[in-house]
Amino acid sequence: MKHEHDDYQLLHEFYKSACSKLTEGSWDYLRGAAETETTFKRNRAAIEAIAFRPRVLRDVEDVDASATLVGQPLRIPVITSPIGSLQDFDAEAGAAVARACTRFGTMNMQSLVSEPGLEATAAASDGPKLFQLYVRGDETWVDDHARRAIDAGYKGFCVTVDLDYYAKRERDIAKRYVTTARKTSFSHEHHQKRFNWSDVARLKNNFDVPLIIKGIATAEDARLCVEHGVDVVFVSNHGGRQLDQGRGGLDVLPEVVDAVRGKAEVMIDGGFLRGTDVVKAMALGANAVGMGRMYGFALAAGGEDGVVRMLEILEQEIISCLGLLGVKSFAELDASYLYPNAPLMAPAGYDSVFPLLKEGY
């Protein structure tokens, strides 16, 4: 039976629909970044500056786009990255995303500051999930959330470490917009500023759950993650929403992969919006890619069904890209299929990702 959300055939249609459905403040919060938004632009520029080197005359009739992360099978190597205040985009918030990821066959990472909360999101579907924490309390508070996540069945516990200070997000400030999470959940931020490597060691030593550290932007900190037994090193600059004037995420990825040397899995997010983006990250050694804004657009556009449809379209793009590169799986892919420093065809941003928007489609 045809569903109304089958009408979405292109990823940019979610962007356009979300823009029409959200309030101006919520829309700018979702698509915006910090200060000059340079880090977000560099995220896109880093992705778009890599061209492909395809191989031909290979049997690519059956392409397998699956992967694994923390021992969990993924239909495609994409997880939905944590977004605060999902309830500002859709009333079902994290529960809708959890159900969509389970229906499709991947994992969501539930944010501490998105409804309906840790336990209710875990109960929303029976698929594997990850939980993400901002540090808003002392050691007892952090440990309590780790225990609760384990008891609720989450397959990984993630701590975000690049939010010691909340960045100047000028789109929000100019409109005097405050998300629901910042109205209710962002007290006691001094605990985040105090969180350090000794806390990482405590979590790793005291809890039997894969530990993910999100916000790694250098080889030096990637090596420290490995020294502290971190299971997943999550390369992230918060989608350009924290430190302005940072490097693009995909520019950081190779040095982190080299520093980790297979002793931990590596994830990345930051500006990933298309299937080709995902393939580039995997070719550079990522185990999985986090997408935030893209599923945010889909959630705002069509709720749970919108997120499922977005993942289906993304899968189509990934499979097509792999086949056109001449490989049947990510196991056959490496950096030899990439050409760095290709000329950019347009200023990197949403218009370069979704060029039909400028033509009114």
What pLDDT, in 10s, does the model give residues 200-238? 999 999 999 999 999 999 999 999 999 999 999 999 999
What is residue 228's predicted lDDT score, i.e. its pLDDT? 98
Relative to beta strand 78-80, strand 51-52 is unpaired
Whether the bond between 73 and the residue before it is cis, its omega within 30 degrees of 0, is: no
What is residue 184's predicted lDDT score, i.e. its pLDDT? 78
Give the range of the structural domain holding residue 149, as residue numbers without chain letter: 4-326
What is residue 183's predicted lDDT score, i.e. its pLDDT? 85
Is 5 annotated in the active site?
no
Identify whether 131 is part of a domain. Answer: yes
Residue 5 has pLDDT above 80, yes or no: no
Which phi and psi (to 5°) does residue 180 adopt?
-65, -35
Residue 2 has pLDDT above 50, yes or no: no
Identify whether 331 is part of a domain. Answer: no
What pLDDT, in 10s, does the model give residues 279-317? 999 999 999 999 999 999 999 999 999 999 999 999 999
Identify whether 161 is part of a domain. Answer: yes
What pLDDT, in 10s, does the model give residues 109-138? 999 999 999 999 999 999 999 999 999 999
Identify whether 255 is part of a domain. Answer: yes
Share of the chain above pLDDT 70, in %: 98
Write out the two tokens for 288: 């999985």
Buried b / exposed e over 276-286, threshold 16 CB at 10 Å, is bbbbbbbbbbb
H-run or E-run covering 173: helix 170-174
What pLDDT, in 10s, does the model give residues 247-263? 999 999 999 999 999 99
Identify whether 347 is part of a domain. Answer: no
Burial environment of residue 360 by CB neighbours within 10 A (0 to 12, 13 to 18, 19 or more):
exposed
What is residue 7's predicted lDDT score, i.e. its pLDDT? 87
Domain count, the chain: 1
Confidence of residue 4 (pLDDT cuts 50, 70, 90): low
How many other CB atoms are there within 10 angstroms of residue 39's CB atom? 27
What is residue 186's predicted lDDT score, i.e. its pLDDT? 63
3-state secondary structure 112-134: CCCCCCHHHHHHHCCCCEEEEEC
Do residues 195 and 161 make contact, with C-beta atoms less than 8 angstroms apart? Answer: yes
What pLDDT, in 10s, does the model give residues 316-327? 999 999 999 999
Identify whether 125 is part of a domain. Answer: yes
The CA–CA distances, whole Å, from 72 to 7, 93, 207, 255 equal 31, 23, 19, 25
Identify whether 332 is part of a domain. Answer: no
Identify whether 334 is part of a domain. Answer: no
* Residue of 5, 12, 228, 238 with catalytic role: 238
Give the largest Cα separation in the chain, rounded.
59
Q: Return the CATH number at 9.
A: 3.20.20.70
